Amino acid sequence: MDRRGGAAVARPGNSAIPGRGCFGYPPRRSRARAPGSRMLYFAYGSNLNTEQMQSRCPGHTVVGMGVLRDHRLAFPLTSHDWGGGVASVVPSHGANVWGMVFDLSEAHLASLDRYEGYRGPDDQHNLYDRLPVFVDLIRPDDGSIPRRVRAACYLARPANPAPPSRRYRDTILSGARHHRLPDEYVAALEQIATAD
């Protein structure tokens, strides 16, 4: 603070209020996450499968069932490991993608980044980009929406779209059934045409 003519003048970074930034506003937070912090993650594809998710992120925490509004499931990327297209979500007015919200550690997220082919923000070699989405958490007992949360989500960069293999589709289905996603959504997953 400077005193000019008896009046206090705020300077950027200074404040008359301890712990506050310029003009008394809270200091701007860095986007970097603190070591050991946790992040919510929305799974909608093969990571719904409990065995796969446990092997990739041992000790992860299930938060609950979620729905990504105004999106649909698509298969815009071919995977040689899966023998067909792999899932992503794309905008689609009025459609919904159901999945699960998990609470992950930094180590879990790093593991998923490797599996999903994510190297970092704006990296030209990413197979998937990790971006934030807003998901409605749904209470399974009455279907009400207790809250909207921001969660990380992997979105495929389109490259050689193809139908999924039966093995890949069935991996998604086993997770959807295990987590008791809505019956009509599971039925729609069953109808997805496969490459084999």
Domain boundaries, the chain: 1-30, 38-190
C-alpha distances (whole Å) from 99 to each of 47, 67, 138, 165, 188 are: 9, 6, 10, 20, 14
d(CA 107, CA 20): 33
**What local confidence, expressed as pLDDT, does residue 50 receive?**
95
**Category of 16 on φ-ψ map: left (φ > 0), alpha (ψ -120 to 50) or beta:** alpha
- CA–CA separation, 54 and 63 (whole Å): 15
Classify burial at 104, counting beta carbons within 10 Å of its beta carbon; exposed 0-12, middle 13-18, buried 19 or more: buried
Q: Which CATH class is domain 38-190?
A: alpha beta
What is the sign of the dihedral through the CA atoms of 19, 24, 26 and 29?
A: negative
Mark out the alpha helices in 130-194 (DSSP H runs): 166-178, 183-190
Mean predicted confidence (pLDDT) in 40-48: 97
Is 50 exceeded by the pLDDT of residue 126? Answer: yes
Name the least confident of 30-44, 155-169, 181-195.
30-44
Flag whether pLDDT at 137 surpasses 50: yes
pLDDT at 145: 66
Could you say which DSSP state residue 69 is in?
E
Q: How far apart are CA 9 and CA 47, in angstroms?
A: 55
Cα–chain center distance at 119? 16
Query: How many angstroms separate the CA atoms of 60 and 132, rounded?
Result: 19
Q: Is the pLDDT of residue 77 over 90?
A: yes
pLDDT of residue 17: 42
> Does pLDDT of 160 surpass 70?
yes
Q: Which of 168, 3, 161 lies closest to 78, judged by CA?
A: 161
DSSP H helices in 58-192: 106-116, 166-178, 183-190
